Amino acid sequence: MRFDRELLKGTTETFLLAALAESPCHGYQLVEQLKRRSDGIFELGEGTVYPLLYKLEAKGWIKGQWDSDTALRRRRVYRITPRGRRQLAQRTRQWEELVRGMTLILKGAAHA
């Protein structure tokens, strides 16, 4: 499904945190991960993912490390930090609250 770009705003960071909470990942792989894990609903481009990773790292929510041992190509593997997990929990609560509010409003409109 193709979304209005604006509908995704504010949710993308949460995607990445959630994906990294499940397992460490490098950027290129995250693009595939998100697509797969969301059942094809989300497709973030590299131009979205990489800048976001730098930002999340700068905030201390994830930590990147160059993986030169196992990898064929140089790549940066990101892991979620304890602070990142707290941030994810908080965002998850906000998300659920948003869903609750939207449901209330859309339900009203449906039977109007």
Chain positions contacting a copy of itself, by CB under 8 A: 1, 3-11, 14-15, 17-19, 21-23, 34, 37-39, 41-42, 88, 91-92, 94-95, 97-102, 104-106, 108-110, 112
- Choice from 20, 27, 56, 80 touching DNA (CB under 7 A): 27
Q: How many CB atoms lie within 10 A of CB 71?
A: 12
What distance in Å separates the CA atoms of residue 15 and residue 9, rounded to the nearest whole number? 11
Give the residue carrying structure tokens 């930090």: 81
Whether the CB-CB separation of 102 and 35 falls below 8 Å is answered with no
Name which of a copy of itself, DNA, none residue 59 binds, using a CB cut-off of 5 to 8 Å depending on partner kind: none
Least distance (Å) between residue 55 CB and DNA: 6
